[in-house]
Amino acid sequence: MGKDTLTLSNITNDLKSIAFFNFSNMADWRFAYIVPITLLALLIGFLLKNIWLGFLIFLFAVYHIVRFVMEYKNHRARKQALNSRLERGEISISIEKLSHITEEMIYEPYTSFTGRGRSAKQVTFYHFHSGVSWRVPSGKIHYEWSKDYHMSSKGLENISISGNDFFYISLQGYHDVVYVYPCNCFVLDNDLISKNVE
């Protein structure tokens, strides 16, 4: 198999895909609360003829609906910021040498009915010799536009060997969104080569 050509359009699609993927995961998590709580409230309100108890239970669903709307607004603002940075060409491409891959248990904050807490999550990180690292979006299919190299996170890990070079993509001032492309699978388009690749 030859190498696929990596264009600005491919990178843009991948970065937008990651932003949507992260929002989609959050939306799925919210709807996992909203739908059953709403159904329970309806059952209690109409089948058991207890409107007030049904209404009180429905307030829990309302909380998640409000949080969803707030998170959706944040997602839209981040998406607009991402689009404007991409349009201005504030993209940075460097070549990084993979040092090692780790799987770490991280504890991320969340808010629930009972207050704030922390949930444990198994996350994969790619560490590079320069000191930068990349957090792999779990469950994401990578490089969906590529005919030969679209793969799962596990597939990417299987072809990632310490010492391999990667194109490391980031946006200036937008440190959440970074992405990597293995140099043994992808080559930069001439337009990207003319940019400052370190």
Per-residue pLDDT for the chain (198 aa), expressed as one digit of tens each? 688 888 888 888 887 777 665 655 565 666 677 778 888 887 887 777 878 787 888 887 788 788 778 877 877 777 777 777 777 777 888 899 999 999 888 766 554 444 455 566 788 899 999 888 888 887 778 888 888 898 988 889 999 999 999 999 888 766 656 889 999 999 988 766 655 444
Residues 95 and 187 in one domain: yes
Residues 65 and 96 in one domain: no
Residues 82 and 95 in one domain: no
> pLDDT value at position 111?
47
Q: Is residue 198 part of a domain?
A: no
> pLDDT value at position 120?
67
State how far the alpha carbon of 19 is from the alpha carbons of 25, 72, 147, 175, in Å.
10, 12, 22, 12
Report residue 75 CA to chain centroid gap: 11
Q: Is residue 123 part of a domain?
A: yes
Residues 72 and 57 in one domain: yes
Residues 82 and 30 in one domain: yes
Of 86, 119, 134, the domain-final residue: 86
> pLDDT value at position 109?
55
Residues 35 and 111 in one domain: no
Residues 75 and 97 in one domain: no
Residues 104 and 63 in one domain: no
How far apart, in Å, do the first and last CA atoms of the chain sit? 26
> pLDDT value at position 115?
47
Domain extent at residue 63: 21-86
Q: Is residue 5 part of a domain?
A: no
In the chain, the number of structural domains is 2
Residues 71 and 124 in one domain: no
Residues 113 and 178 in one domain: yes
Of 86, 111, 134, the domain-final residue: 86
Q: Is the separation of the CB atoms in 149 and 185 below 8 Å?
A: yes
Phi/psi-derived region of residue 173, left when phi > 0, alpha when psi is between -120 and 50, beta in every other case: left
> pLDDT value at position 114?
47
> pLDDT value at position 174?
63
Q: Is residue 11 part of a domain?
A: no
Residues 101 and 47 in one domain: no
Of 57, 86, 115, the domain-final residue: 86
Residues 79 and 97 in one domain: no
What φ, ψ does residue 50 adopt, rounded to 5°? -115, 85
Q: Is residue 150 part of a domain?
A: yes
